[in-house]
């Protein structure tokens, strides 16, 4: 018996494919309304576009859809909500009766058949501290279902598991990861040295470049491999929202700096006004600074307390925008909630990351060529585990 397949749209477009162009091509090829095609392609969810076909037909559909720019995979037969029909107009019109009330296609058409959604598969058996996508370390992660179900709270050891699972991403495509990270830092440093606007521009570019690497990490899970051009995949359809993440972060950092600056400046002014004349002269400066030490420490601690929530909001926002299509504000909010629910795992993650960075600097810093890409990939593994894996019961 010949194998049968479903043709599944994976919920994303290929890197460097513009959503508007793909939507127009898809709608024209399959005789769909533009809005319906746009909603399908940008839903971020998997859809079965063709059911129960042989290998040759499945490959024909995949080729046609990939030419448009869709990421497509072939899956075993199973019912899904829609079924896409790719066939000539003449043969379609002969089979369609008035009672079916189907729209007349022009050249090729799309037939949507309602089907009963497949039953949800039971969540995998996981230990109390393990991540859902974690099998044995060194094995590829198992892609989660397409629907976002988190953020979920994970066990303490998940913080290390995110790093361990990220090593699979690195060892699968080590040179592209190293090359992408080197290019990322070269771009960041080059932009940063530009007077006045350099630091601002690098802050805005950061989420865009990170988002591209998250798209590349997702491509690895789908068996496509990481490529250097993935670094710039964030400059496509989601560029505006990814840049907005950097803008919001920059505004937040400036507000914190302004608060601390006014606080410190006010404290210094009040203290100097209350001192006898000549106290701030050179011979007494060290004594004055020592006396004001506790006063200056308080605003620094407040700055750290304000910076931590800002960092939590930023940490997982790029993949939420680049992969799931969330707005910048929604992604920042969801990133903060995800980190808030996983304080203990992120504590372990931070300690492990710091230790790895220290160890990576020992052999003339060459170890950082491994450590930094692994830590970058760990953003993706943490994101997948927190937002997409089934909650523990």
Per-residue pLDDT tens digits for 181-232? 999 999 999 999 998 888 889 999 999 999 999 999 999 988 888 999 999 9
- Name the nearest CA neighbour of 309 among 384, 256, 386: 256
Rounded Cα gap, residues 222 and 225, in angstroms: 8
Q: Tokens standing for 172?
A: 């699968």
Mean pLDDT, the chain, integer: 78
Residue 116 within a domain? no
Which range, 54-63, 83-92, 113-122, 323-332, is most confident? 323-332
- Name the nearest CA neighbour of 9 among 22, 24, 18: 22
| Domain end position, chosen among 58, 80, 100 | 100
Where residue 71 sits, what CATH number does that domain have? 3.30.1390.10
Q: Tokens standing for 208?
A: 């865009």
Q: Say which residue, 277 or 108, is predicted with more confidence.
A: 277
Q: Tokens standing for 9?
A: 């749209």
Which range, 172-176, 262-266, 359-363, is most confident? 172-176
Neighbours of 316 (CB within 10 A): 25
Residue 120 within a domain? no
- Same domain for 144 and 91, yes or no, is no
pLDDT at 125: 36
Instruction: Look up the domain containing 245 and give its range.
Output: 134-393
Q: Say which residue, 40 or 284, is predicted with more confidence.
A: 40
Residue 67 within a domain? yes
Residue 115 within a domain? no
- pLDDT for residue 117 is more than 60: no
- Same domain for 22 and 159, yes or no, is no
Map residue 324 onto helix, strand or coil.
Answer: coil
Q: Tokens standing for 44?
A: 């971020």
pLDDT at 274: 61
Band (54; pLDDT cuts 50, 70, 90): confident
Rounded Cα gap, residues 260 and 252, in angstroms: 12
pLDDT at 313: 96
pLDDT at 371: 96
- Same domain for 78 and 151, yes or no, is no
Can you name the residues that pair with 108 across neighbouring β-strands?
A: 88
- Same domain for 203 and 344, yes or no, is yes
Give 269-287 pLDDT, tens digit per residue: 666 666 566 555 555 556 5
| Domain end position, chosen among 78, 100, 122 | 100
| Domain end position, chosen among 100, 121, 153 | 100
% residues pLDDT > 90 (the chain): 42
Rounded Cα gap, residues 111 and 89, in angstroms: 12
- Same domain for 243 and 357, yes or no, is yes
- Same domain for 315 and 377, yes or no, is yes
- Same domain for 155 and 198, yes or no, is yes
Band (288; pLDDT cuts 50, 70, 90): low
User: What number of residues does the chain have?
Assistant: 393
Average pLDDT over residues 29-45: 79
pTM as predicted: 0.61
Residue 128 within a domain? no
pLDDT at 273: 62
pLDDT at 139: 43
Neighbours of 189 (CB within 10 A): 11
- Same domain for 86 and 146, yes or no, is no
- Same domain for 268 and 366, yes or no, is yes
% residues pLDDT > 70 (the chain): 73
Rounded Cα gap, residues 344 and 356, in angstroms: 18
Give the total number of structural domains in the chain: 2
Band (122; pLDDT cuts 50, 70, 90): very low
Rounded Cα gap, residues 386 and 391, in angstroms: 9
Which of 19-28, 124-133, 152-161 is predicted with the least confidence, judged by mean pLDDT?
124-133
- Same domain for 368 and 326, yes or no, is yes
pLDDT at 368: 94
- pLDDT for residue 305 is more than 80: yes
- Same domain for 81 and 168, yes or no, is no
Helices (H), the chain: 19-29, 34-41, 55-68, 89-95, 158-172, 174-192, 198-221, 239-274, 285-315, 317-322, 328-340, 343-360, 368-387
Band (145; pLDDT cuts 50, 70, 90): very low
- Same domain for 154 and 81, yes or no, is no
Band (236; pLDDT cuts 50, 70, 90): confident
Residue 109 within a domain? no
pLDDT at 263: 82
Residue 113 within a domain? no
Give 321-346 pLDDT, tens digit per residue: 999 999 999 999 999 999 999 999 99
Residue 119 within a domain? no
């Amino acid at each position: 018996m010949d194998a049968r397949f479903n043709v599944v749209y994976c919920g994303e477009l290929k890197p460097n494919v513009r959503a508007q162009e793909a939507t127009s091509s898809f709608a024209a090829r399959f005789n769909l309304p533009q809005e319906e095609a746009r909603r399908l392609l940008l839903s971020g969810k998997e859809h079965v576009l063709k059911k129960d076909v042989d290998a040759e037909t499945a490959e024909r559909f995949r080729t046609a859809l990939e030419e448009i720019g869709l990421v497509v995979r072939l899956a075993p037969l199973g019912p899904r909500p829609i079924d896409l029909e790719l066939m000539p107009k003449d043969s379609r019109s002969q089979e369609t009766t008035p009672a079916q009330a189907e729209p007349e296609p022009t050249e090729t058409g799309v037939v949507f058949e309602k089907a009963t959604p497949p039953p949800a598969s039971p969540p995998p058996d996981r230990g109390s501290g393990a991540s859902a996508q974690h099998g044995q370390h060194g094995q590829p992660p198992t892609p989660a279902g397409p629907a976002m179900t988190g953020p979920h709270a994970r066990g303490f050891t998940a913080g290390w598991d995110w790093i361990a699972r990220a090593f699979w991403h690195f060892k699968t495509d080590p040179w592209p990861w190293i090359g992408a990270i080197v290019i990322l830092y070269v771009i960041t440093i080059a932009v940063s040295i530009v007077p006045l606007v350099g630091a601002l521009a690098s802050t805005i570019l950061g989420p865009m470049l990170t988002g591209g690497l998250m798209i590349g990490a997702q491509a690895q899970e789908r068996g496509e491999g990481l490529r250097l051009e993935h670094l710039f995949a964030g400059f496509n359809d989601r560029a505006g929202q990814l840049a907005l993440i950097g803008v919001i972060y920059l505004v937040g950092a400036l507000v914190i700096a302004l608060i601390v600056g006014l606080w410190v400046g006010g404290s210094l002014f009040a203290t100097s006004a209350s001192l006898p004349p000549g106290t701030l002269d050179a011979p007494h400066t060290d004594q004055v600074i020592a006396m004001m030490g506790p006063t200056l420490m308080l605003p620094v601690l407040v700055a750290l307390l304000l910076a931590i929530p800002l960092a939590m909001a930023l940490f997982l926002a790029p993949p939420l925008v680049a992969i799931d299509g969330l707005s910048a504000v929604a992604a920042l909010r969801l990133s903060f909630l995800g980190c808030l629910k996983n304080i203990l795992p992120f504590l372990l993650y931070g300690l492990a990351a710091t230790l790895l960075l220290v160890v990576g600097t020992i052999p003339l810093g060459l170890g950082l060529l491994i450590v930094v890409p692994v830590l970058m990939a760990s953003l993706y593994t943490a994101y997948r585990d927190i937002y997409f894996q089934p909650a523990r019961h």
